Structure 1
Amino acid sequence: MLYPELFKSLESVRWDMEKDVPWERFDPGLLSDEQANTIKMNAITEWSALPATEMFLRDNREDSDFSAFMSIWFFEEQKHSLVLQEYLRRFRPELLPTEQELDHVRFEFDPAPPLETLTLHFCGEIRLNHWYRRASQWHTEPVIQAIYRLISQDEARHAGAYLRYMRRALTDRGKELADQARAAFARIGVLMASAKRTSQALHPTNLHVNKSLFPNDTVQSRLPEPGWLDRWLDQQIQFDREWESKVADRILHNMSVLLGRSFATVQDLNRYRKELAGS
């Protein structure tokens, strides 16, 4: 099982909301209304770990190891929402999300193949790590800069944990599952490393997950400002082609190590995907 080792390693680097966030350094003159509103949107977005966890537990009912790991992931992701809410409670209480706003992003996700979902969230954690690193640079107030740095480091560790479960699917569960896993990893990897070719921000919270609620079946569509994510990325933190290339490169590097092939470009990974489909 991976869960005991992951619990120990993640517990050893866990940050404390009171001790490790420099609340005393808050400078009100360095926080604009525009910046504060984006903190609210991210606090609500992070709350969507709740329905995601419910999805993971439902779709991985036969996998106790991974389901146990969800206790760590869920705790840390909800903590991200909590620390952002705490920041607003202390310094911009008028922007604190309401319980109704939080409830609105809790809705049922349609069942999906576990391997594809695992890969999607692995890539999503890489993307979040880069988004939050860029957000920390964009903000000018030192406390929220520190919070985004802490959160971004968590997201990188979560990606590493998901990668461990992806590797397990290739090595510990038999040839049939390994073949399925390679196909799933390549398929989702091509999608998630291709953001430069799409107008859509490729993250699990921005993808459709419930046909009966379409088109209001993405987490982002259920926020108080459904279009905020594109504005945050394009106009505010300016997550440009250079930053997007860093995400793609990280995904391709990990896919190369995982699958034992060198993928310098998305096209390389797509060719590998086609090879698997043909065989």
Structure 2
Amino acid sequence: MLYPELFKQLEAVRWNLDTDIPWERFDAARLSDEQAQTIKMNAITEWAALPATEMFLRDNREDSDFSAFMSVWFFEEQKHSLVLMEYLRRFRPDLAPTEDELHAVRFEFDPAPALETLMLHFCGEIRLNHWYRRAAEWHTEPVIQAIYETLARDEARHGGAYLRYMKRALVRCGDEARSAFAKVGVLMASARRTAQALHPTNLHVNAKLFPNDTVQSRLPDPAWLEAWLDRQIRFDAEWEGRVVERILHNLSLLFGRSFASVQDLNRYRKELGRGAQPA
């Protein structure tokens, strides 16, 4: 089982909301209304770990090890929402999310193949790590900068934990896992070719609710994410390239084959699809 070891690893570096966030450094003059609004949107987005956890537990009912790990992932992701809300409660209480706004992002996700979902969230953690690192640079208020740096480190650790389960899947499922990971990897490393941000919270997950079936579509400002990325934190081609590089690097190590580009990964995916033995 991976859960006991992962629990110990994450427990050892877990931060305390009261003592590890430098609340005393708050500088009101360095927090704009625009910046505060983005904190509210991120707080609500992080709350969507709730329906994601419900999805994971439903679709991994036969995997008690991974399901147990969800207790750690869910706790830490919900704490992300909590620390952002605590920041607003202390310094901009007028923008603190309401319970109704939080509950709006709790809706059922359609069942999906567990391997594809695992890879999707692995890539999502990599992307969110980079988004939060960029957000820490864009913000000018010291406390929220420290918060985003803290959250970014958590997301990187979560990605590492998902990677451990991906390695386990290769042993258990072989080419089925390779095909699932390669397929989703091609999608998630191709953001520059799409009009939307490729993150689990921005993908359609419930056909009956379409088009109001992404987490982002259920925020108070559904257009927030694109504006945050493009005009505010300026998540440009250089930063997107870093995300792609990390996805390709990790898949290269996972599969024991070098992928210098998305095209390389896609060729590998096609080889698997033809039933060929990848070189």
Given the two structures, how large is their TM-score scaled by the length of structure 2? Answer: 0.98
Report the counterpart of residue 56 of structure 1 in structure 2. 56
* Aligned partner letter, 2:159: A
Q: Specify the alignment match of 2:104 in structure 1.
A: 104
Structure 2 residue 266 is the aligned partner of structure 1 residue 278: no
The answer to whether residue 213 in structure 2 is matched with residue 208 in structure 1 is: no
Letter in 2 for 1:29: A
Residues 67-82 of structure 1: pairs in structure 2 closer than 5 A: 67-82=67-82
Q: Measure how far apart 1:197 and its partner are.
A: 1.0
Q: What is the aligned partner in structure 1 of residue 242 from structure 2?
A: 246
3-state SS of the aligned residue for 1:14?
coil
Cα deviation code 1:15-37 (max 9, x no counterpart): 00111100000000000000000
- Structure 2: distance between partners of 1:169 and 1:54: 21
Matched, 1:194 2:204: no
Match in the other structure for 1:255 = 251
**1:220 aligned partner:** 216
- 3-state SS of paired residue (1:110): coil
Which residues in structure 2 correspond to 1:23-102 (within 5 Å)?
Answer: 23-102=23-102
1:215 is paired with a residue of what secondary structure? coil
- Name structure 2 gaps, 5 residues minimum: none
Identical aligned residues as a percent: 79
The residue matched to 2:131 in structure 1 has which SS? helix
Q: What is the CA deviation profile of residues 217-257 of structure 1, one whole-angstrom value per residue up to 9, with x for unaligned ones?
A: 00000000000000000000000000000000000000000
The 1-side partners of 2:176 and 2:68 are apart by: 23
After superposition, the C-alpha distances for 1:116-137 in whole angstroms (9 at most, x for unaligned) are 0000000000000000000000
- Output the aligned Cα RMSD: 0.3
How big is each residue's C-alpha offset from its partner over 1:127-158, in whole Å with a ceiling of 9 and x where there is no partner? 00000000000000000000000000000000
Report the 3-state secondary structure (helix = DSSP H, G, I; strand = E; otherwise coil) of the residue aligned with 1:264: coil
The within-5 A match list for 1:173-188 is 173=172, 177-188=173-184
Match in the other structure for 2:128? 128
> How many equivalent residue pairs?
275
Q: Distance in 2 between matches of 1:195 and 1:249?
A: 12
**Which residue identity is paired with 1:40?**
K
Following the alignment from structure 1 to structure 2, what is the Cα–Cα distance between the partners of residues 185 and 120? Answer: 8
Which residue of structure 2 lines up, in the alignment, with residue 230 of structure 1?
Answer: 226
* TM superposition outliers: structure 1 runs of 4+ over 6 Å: none
What secondary structure sits across from 1:121 in the alignment? helix
Once the two structures are TM-superposed, the CA of residue 196 in structure 1 deviates from its matched residue by 1.0
User: Matched residue of 1:252: which SS?
Assistant: helix
Amino acid aligned to 1:44? I
